[in-house]
Structure 1
């Protein structure tokens, strides 16, 4: 079982410290976050989405970007991906991420797809995404870096089925899917094996995290309101032993990338526990 870490989940670690911690945990791949740190966040406590010390700055120089490859190389890790927060249709920014990925030797990037908030018609957003992905596919072929669409709540691709509908227009050598069951707790749940069978050759990567549900009463107490929240890997609604079995059933042999937002452990311990937990789950799968 090949393991990786998406550095959004390790905001307190500098690249070199992250690479060392990954090596100590037996985690081979690194998915580097590609996002600037806001100027007003620099003095804040490290956090996933603002003061993240393990992020490639899109405004940096090639020398700045190469620091991340060098950190991985120093500890014998692989720079697996560059993971940005792209806007659907922004081809110029997408090409910049491709350039960074090519420079540091990464295999894939994540691309942007439209969000869905009931303000715009799904069909119009879908057409917009397809037009964008046609351009992305050309870039992916030119740079030899695969572009992945993530199953993500609050977007037009929350489930395996809707994600497949989007990527099915394209060559799976260039456009693939980042499958994230944790996101699908919030929105997009389908039978895991069925969704994976549908994705077929488009399945390119898997993120590992977990989520559960919180029940709160409405203001007048007459109804219940349910919402999703991040929890530790073994405590959430995703039955990871089953998911691993289903991934095995479709021949998945790629990476499992940790993206734990629960805050249960500090970063270094989180990586160690992730690797230990995945071994337990993999051993359980083999006994079934």
Structure 2
């Protein structure tokens, strides 16, 4: 296996700082976050930067074609490989998806995430039912896969809570019959704590050639102490360090090994118990304790 970090989880570092620090720690690769993440007019970025707003190691999507050379220079100078590209372009936005597929091809990054629609948001906006949204997204994905094939890259669908593909079963239904050389699934351990949990080994076997990439983070459910009008408890999820979340990371790697997965494992740790540099170093040491670096 090869280990990388998704820069959504490194908000305090510039791209150069992220690449140099991760390379010095011994990571094999990096997964760049590409999305427009600038403050709105008049808005200031908080000193304590969040992962999803004001993230310094994000490449802005607007003008991304002009940033390809700089992305390549920073990545190559650090001696890192690309585990993929963390795109945020919705499958229905063909022009934007095409841009990200082209950028991925130009970088030699091989694979890029294409975002799936968030079911309830779309239903509230358009009135579409899940089957209607599913069918529309399948058509969008068929188009994306044809473009990916032309460009020699792969479109990735992430297992993500609240989207139409929260589970391996849902993702397989969406992808079934498409060319696994040019479309695949990101299996995400932490997201599955929130929604979509299935036996991991069974999910890997179900996905088969569509298992293209792995994201690892951890999460837990906590009682907020609030109650609903009916007196029932209100629970919410929060991100947790790899060792202390609800999911067993060691058990997950045992299942990956049993399936024979030997590809990229990308960490996106959104916990804040440790400072960022300690967190990334500790996560790599933990991964290596589970999977020897030579494996």
TM-score, normalised to structure 2's length? Answer: 0.91
Structure 1 residues 2 and 209: CA distance shift in structure 2, 3 A: same
Supply the distance in 2 between the matched residues of 1:166 and 1:121 (Cα, whole angstroms).
15
Deviates more, 1:241-250 or 1:182-191: 241-250
Supply the distance in 2 between the matched residues of 1:219 and 1:167 (Cα, whole angstroms).
38
Q: Give 3-state SS (helix, strand or coil) of 2:212's partner.
A: strand
Deviates more, 1:86-95 or 1:260-269: 260-269
Quote how far apart the aligned CAs of 1:145 are: 1.3
Quote how far apart the aligned CAs of 1:163 are: 0.9
Q: Is the 8 A contact 1:211 1:237 kept in 2?
A: yes
Quote how far apart the aligned CAs of 1:96 are: 0.6
What residue in structure 2 maps to residue 53 of structure 1? 56
Q: Give 3-state SS (helix, strand or coil) of 1:215's partner.
A: strand
CA-to-aligned-CA distance 1:157-202 (integer Å, 9 cap, x gap): 1011111111113110000000001001110001111111100000
* Matches for 1:212-227 after TM superposition, within 5 Å: 212-216=220-224, 217-219=226-228, 222-227=231-236
Question: Cα RMSD (Å) of the superposition?
Answer: 1.7
Q: Is the 8 A contact 2:91 2:144 kept in 1?
A: no
Supply the distance in 1 between the matched residues of 2:231 and 2:44 (Cα, whole angstroms).
44
* Matches for 1:123-138 after TM superposition, within 5 Å: 123-138=131-146
What residue in structure 1 maps to residue 182 of structure 2? 174
Supply the distance in 2 between the matched residues of 1:177 and 1:279 (Cα, whole angstroms).
24
TM-score, normalised to structure 1's length? Answer: 0.93
- Work out which of the residue numbers 274, 277, 286 in structure 1 matches 2:283: 274
Answering whether residue 276 of structure 2 is matched by residue 243 of structure 1, we say no
CA-to-aligned-CA distance 1:204-227 (integer Å, 9 cap, x gap): 110010000111330568221222
Q: Is the 8 A contact 2:114 2:155 kept in 1?
A: yes
Unaligned runs of 5+ in 2: none
Q: Give 3-state SS (helix, strand or coil) of 2:157's partner.
A: strand
Quote how far apart the aligned CAs of 1:54 are: 1.1
What residue in structure 1 maps to residue 95 of structure 2? 92
Q: Is the 8 A contact 1:108 1:148 kept in 2?
A: yes
What residue in structure 2 maps to residue 193 of structure 1? 201
- Work out which of the residue numbers 106, 109, 113 in structure 2 matches 1:110: 113
Supply the distance in 1 between the matched residues of 2:227 and 2:63 (Cα, whole angstroms).
47
What residue in structure 2 maps to residue 16 of structure 1? 16
- Work out which of the residue numbers 56, 59, 70 in structure 2 matches 1:67: 70
Structure 1 residues 193 and 11: CA distance shift in structure 2, 3 A: same
Structure 1 residues 96 and 168: CA distance shift in structure 2, 3 A: same
Quote how far apart the aligned CAs of 1:64 are: 2.3
Matched residues, number: 284
Quote how far apart the aligned CAs of 1:74 are: 0.7
4+ runs deviating over 6 angstroms: none
